[in-house]
Structure 1
Amino acid sequence: MPLAYNQDLPPSGGFETLKYKRSLPFRGPSGLVLLLGTLGVCGYGFYRYGLGAVEQRELKREKAWSRIHLIPLLEAENDRDKYRRAIAEKTIEDAIMQRHKGWKAGQSVYFNDRGDEEKVV
Structure 2
Amino acid sequence: MADCVPLVKKQDLPPPGGYKPIPFKRIPAKQYFSGFACIAGYLGITTVSAYLYYLNCKQVKKNEIEMRSAKMAIYPMLVAERDREYLKQLRRNRDAEAELMRDVPGWVVGTWYGERVYKLLPADALIEPIFHEFYAHSDEKSWNNRTNLSIAC
TM category (shorter chain) comes to 0.5 to 0.7
Paired residue for 1:117? Answer: 123
Residue of 29, 32, 37 corresponding to 1:28: 32
Paired residue for 1:44? Answer: 48
The structure with the larger Rg is: 1
Q: Distance in 2 between matches of 1:43 and 1:30?
A: 20
* Residues 96-116 of structure 1 deviation map (CA, whole Å, 9 limit, x = unaligned): 22123443323573264x563
Residue of 54, 60, 83 corresponding to 1:56: 60
Q: How many residues align?
A: 96
Q: Distance in 1 between matches of 2:51 and 2:121?
A: 71
Paired residue for 2:96? Answer: 92
Q: Distance in 1 between matches of 2:31 and 2:83?
A: 76
Q: TM-score, normalised to structure 1's length? A: 0.62
Q: Distance in 1 between matches of 2:67 and 2:121?
A: 48
SS at the partner of 2:107? coil
* Residues 54-89 of structure 1 deviation map (CA, whole Å, 9 limit, x = unaligned): 222222222211211221221122122112101111
Distance verdict in 2 for CA 1:97–1:33, change over 3 Å: same
Distance verdict in 2 for CA 1:83–1:43, change over 3 Å: same
Q: Distance in 2 between matches of 1:47 and 1:102?
A: 78
1:117 is matched by which residue type in structure 2? A
In the alignment, structure 2 segments of 5+ residues that lack a partner are 1-27, 127-153
**For the aligned residues, what is the CA RMSD?**
2.9
Percent identity, aligned pairs only? 21
1:38 is matched by which residue type in structure 2? Y
Distance verdict in 2 for CA 1:100–1:58, change over 3 Å: same
Q: TM-score, normalised to structure 2's length? A: 0.51
Q: Distance in 2 between matches of 1:115 and 1:69?
A: 36
